[in-house]
């Protein structure tokens, strides 16, 4: 009888253990399903986040293609829609879907125009909008070269993610018709036949109305005194109401009659200027390391030409040309855009001719004690890394040198827009 009781107890224990194992198995199964669902939700969340980032980056790249180095205002006006107000609100955005769960569009953005409509990307979709930054609000006018790109990521399971980035247009407009950087530059203006140096923007035939730029711009009072010593005839220098040495300016001095606002630090920071030169090299259409065999492309306003050597321009041209050695132009050569001699810092215009240089000329010696740009001693000489820049116009003829923002802007390199701020909405 006792044996039968023991057997019954063992059976009960076995059933109990089996029940416990079954319960544990069911619990583990539910836990596994929960973890799978949680993992899938996390994966979907990451997927739409990366889709939103892709939309923002695609918007940034699209805007660069459409706008290049130009101002943002015309693009903002386009994407503001019919009412001219950028009233896009990401909080009201909603994707629309077809019967299979595919994204077919977006609603909730009023009459603003998408920069990129919903676009298939992998297993999801992205879109992008362009608005102004917080400083300019809903206005389509940009005053600080910054706008906001909103990227939207969407998936077939009704997931949506939004990211926003403030992007910055890298614009560097020389502040004078002839900008000479560094201590006590050497300036020799036209001495033989009458020359015309014009600081009124595009001679009043374009550009910014009533913008009277310095004809020769330098940094510091000693530098200003040095260049004024080479002025030659006062009557050759005209910038609207200003003539003669009133058109020569210390660009860092707000009391100057032609003062144009705070000076960009790149004009006083040798290493920053050096980095900018290399940025231009990386984005140039033509790079020459031997000036004697360098052939310029067909003139175009947006040409970027980099010559890592001495170079003599003998034919008309346009765009931006940067020469790290000595830059020479003939008096009969016309150029519309920017002539930059940054490196050895030597510019000379000689020979007869009546040609016009319209845009801006910039000269800076940052090559260091050896006078050769591209070596380890760059930015180690002079004052703050700058040695004496030299400008010499000794040719005959009646040649014009004119400040013109139209030609400058056309020649500005279209660098990729910088990401200034980023946030997940």
Q: What is the pLDDT of residues 56-112, one digit of tens each?
A: 999 999 999 888 877 899 999 999 999 999 999 999 999 999 988 899 999 999 999
Helix spans in 259-382 (H) = 270-283
Cα(58)–Cα(252) distance, integer angstroms = 39
Average of per-residue pLDDT values in the chain: 89
Which of 169, 195, 220 marks a domain boundary?
169
Do 286 and 392 fall within a single domain?
Answer: yes
Do 79 and 193 fall within a single domain?
Answer: no
Tokens of 81: 């829609």
What number is the average pLDDT over the span 186-203?
84
> What pLDDT does 37 receive?
56
Closest of 370, 364, 360 to residue 389, by C-alpha:
364
Do 151 and 192 fall within a single domain?
Answer: no
What number is the average pLDDT over the span 178-189?
95
Long-range contacts of 25-32 (CB under 8 A, 24+ apart): none
Is residue 191's pLDDT more than 70? no
Do 163 and 190 fall within a single domain?
Answer: no
Do 55 and 84 fall within a single domain?
Answer: yes
Which of 136, 169, 202 marks a domain boundary?
169
Which of 269 and 260 is assigned the larger pLDDT? 269
Q: How many domains does the chain have?
A: 2
In a domain, 9, yes or no: no
In a domain, 397, yes or no: yes
Cβ atoms of 308 and 322 within 8 Å: the answer is: no
Torsional sign, CA 308, 312, 314, 317: positive
Cβ atoms of 304 and 280 within 8 Å: the answer is: yes
Which of 169, 198, 233 marks a domain boundary?
169
Tokens of 423: 């946030």
In a domain, 248, yes or no: yes
From the CB of residue 138, how many other CB atoms can be counted at a distance below 10 Å? 14
423: which strand partners? 164
Give the CA distances from residue 286 to residues 168, 320, 333, in Å, rounded to whole numbers and listed in that order: 26, 11, 20
What number is the average pLDDT over the span 27-34?
64
Do 387 and 241 fall within a single domain?
Answer: yes
Range of the domain at 95: 49-169
């Amino acid at each position: 009888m006792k044996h039968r009781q023991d057997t019954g107890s063992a059976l009960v224990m076995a059933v109990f253990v089996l029940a416990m194992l079954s319960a544990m198995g069911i619990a583990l199964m539910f836990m596994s399903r929960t973890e799978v669902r949680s993992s899938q939700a996390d994966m979907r969340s990451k997927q739409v986040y990366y889709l939103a980032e892709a939309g923002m980056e695609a918007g940034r790249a699209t805007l660069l293609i459409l706008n290049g180095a130009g101002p943002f205002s015309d693009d903002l006006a386009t994407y503001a829609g019919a009412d001219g107000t950028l009233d896009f609100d990401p909080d009201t955005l909603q994707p629309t879907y077809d019967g299979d769960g595919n994204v077919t569009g977006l609603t909730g953005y009023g009459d603003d125009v998408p920069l990129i409509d919903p676009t298939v990307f992998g297993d999801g979709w992205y879109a992008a909008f362009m608005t102004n930054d917080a400083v300019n609000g809903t206005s389509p006018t940009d005053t600080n070269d910054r706008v906001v790109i909103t990227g939207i990521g969407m998936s077939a399971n009704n997931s949506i993610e939004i990211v926003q980035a403030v992007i910055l247009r890298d614009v560097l407009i020389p502040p004078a018709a002839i900008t000479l950087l560094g201590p006590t530059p050497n300036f020799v203006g036209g001495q033989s036949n009458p020359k015309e140096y014009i600081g009124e923007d595009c001679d009043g035939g374009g550009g910014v109305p009533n913008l009277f730029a310095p004809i020769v711009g330098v940094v510091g009072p000693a530098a200003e005194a040095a260049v004024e010593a080479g002025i030659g005839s006062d009557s050759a220098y005209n910038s609207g109401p200003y003539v003669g040495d009133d058109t020569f300016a210390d660009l860092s001095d707000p009391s100057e009659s032609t003062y144009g606002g705070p000076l960009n630090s790149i004009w006083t920071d040798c290493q920053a200027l050096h980095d900018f030169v290399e940025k231009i090299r990386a984005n140039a259409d033509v790079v020459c390391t031997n000036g004697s065999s360098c052939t310029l492309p067909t003139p175009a306003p947006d040409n970027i030409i980099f010559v890592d050597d001495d170079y003599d321009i003998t034919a008309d041209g346009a765009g931006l040309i940067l020469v790290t050695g000595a830059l020479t132009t003939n008096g009969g050569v016309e150029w519309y855009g920017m002539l930059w001699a940054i490196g050895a810092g030597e510019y000379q215009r000689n020979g007869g001719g009546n040609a016009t240089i319209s845009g801006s000329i910039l000269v800076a010696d940052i090559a260091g004690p050896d006078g050769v740009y591209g070596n380890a001693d760059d930015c180690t000489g002079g004052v703050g890394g700058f040695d004496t820049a030299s400008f010499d116009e000794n040719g005959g003829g009646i040649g014009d040198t004119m400040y013109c923002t139209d030609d400058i802007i056309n020649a500005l390199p279209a660098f990729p827009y910088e990401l200034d701020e980023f946030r997940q909405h």
